[in-house]
């Protein structure tokens, strides 16, 4: 798959109104499903499908962006643990799912993917408040 055929490169995913911040080599977005409050996705700005496709400097900058976002999410939501997923099976474009796991987590020992739940979308006002909450912690 080339960047032209990639849903992330074409701008079809993630949703633009869920954009948190530009973090250098990648852009952070809030996941549409907020069952786990603060679940975010960090999407590489250019098309690549594997970490080994990145040169060492770009890979290092990406890992720094992952860490920056994780720290901001952990602070914003008082996470007791952060989960990191880099799969690419459904969207073959480098993107990290970064999931704060909170003290009231319904299944703290399971990966987020394995926890059965009804997806939770946020109303526009809640979405903007959550985005700003994360941005505030990224800036500090």
Q: In this predicted structure, what is the pLDDT of residue 34?
A: 98
In the chain, where the domains are located:
3-104+120-139
Number of H helices, E strands in the chain: 2, 5
CATH topology of domain 3-104+120-139: HIT family, subunit A (3.30.428)
Q: In this predicted structure, what is the pLDDT of residue 4?
A: 67
Residues with Cβ within 8 Å of 14's Cβ and at least 6 positions away in sequence, in order, are: 8, 29, 31, 32, 41, 43
Structure tokens of 46? 């250019």
Q: In this predicted structure, what is the pLDDT of residue 75?
A: 98
Residues in the chain predicted with pLDDT less than 50, given as ranges, are none
Q: In this predicted structure, what is the pLDDT of residue 76?
A: 98
Longest CA span, the chain: 42
Q: In this predicted structure, what is the pLDDT of residue 82?
A: 98
Q: In this predicted structure, what is the pLDDT of residue 129?
A: 98
Per the rule left: phi > 0, alpha: psi between -120 and 50, beta: everything else, 88 is left
Q: In this predicted structure, what is the pLDDT of residue 140?
A: 78
CB half-sphere exposure, 79, CA atoms < 13 A: 22
Buried b (16+ CB within 10 A) or exposed e, 45-58: eebbeeeeebeeeb
């Amino acid at each position: 798959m080339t960047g032209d055929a990639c849903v992330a490169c074409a701008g079809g995913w993630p949703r633009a109104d869920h954009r948190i911040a530009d973090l250098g080599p990648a852009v952070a977005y809030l996941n549409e499903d907020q069952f786990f409050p603060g679940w975010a996705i960090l999407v590489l700005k250019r098309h690549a499908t594997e970490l080994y496709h990145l040169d060492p400097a770009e890979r290092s900058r990406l890992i720094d962006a992952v860490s920056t976002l994780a720290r901001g999410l952990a602070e914003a939501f008082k996470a007791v643990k952060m989960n990191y997923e880099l799969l690419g099976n459904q969207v073959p474009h480098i993107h990290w799912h970064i999931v704060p796991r909170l003290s009231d987590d319904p299944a703290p020992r399971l990966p987020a993917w394995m926890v059965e739940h009804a997806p939770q979308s946020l109303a526009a006002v809640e979405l903007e408040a959550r985005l700003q909450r994360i941005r505030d912690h990224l800036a500090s």
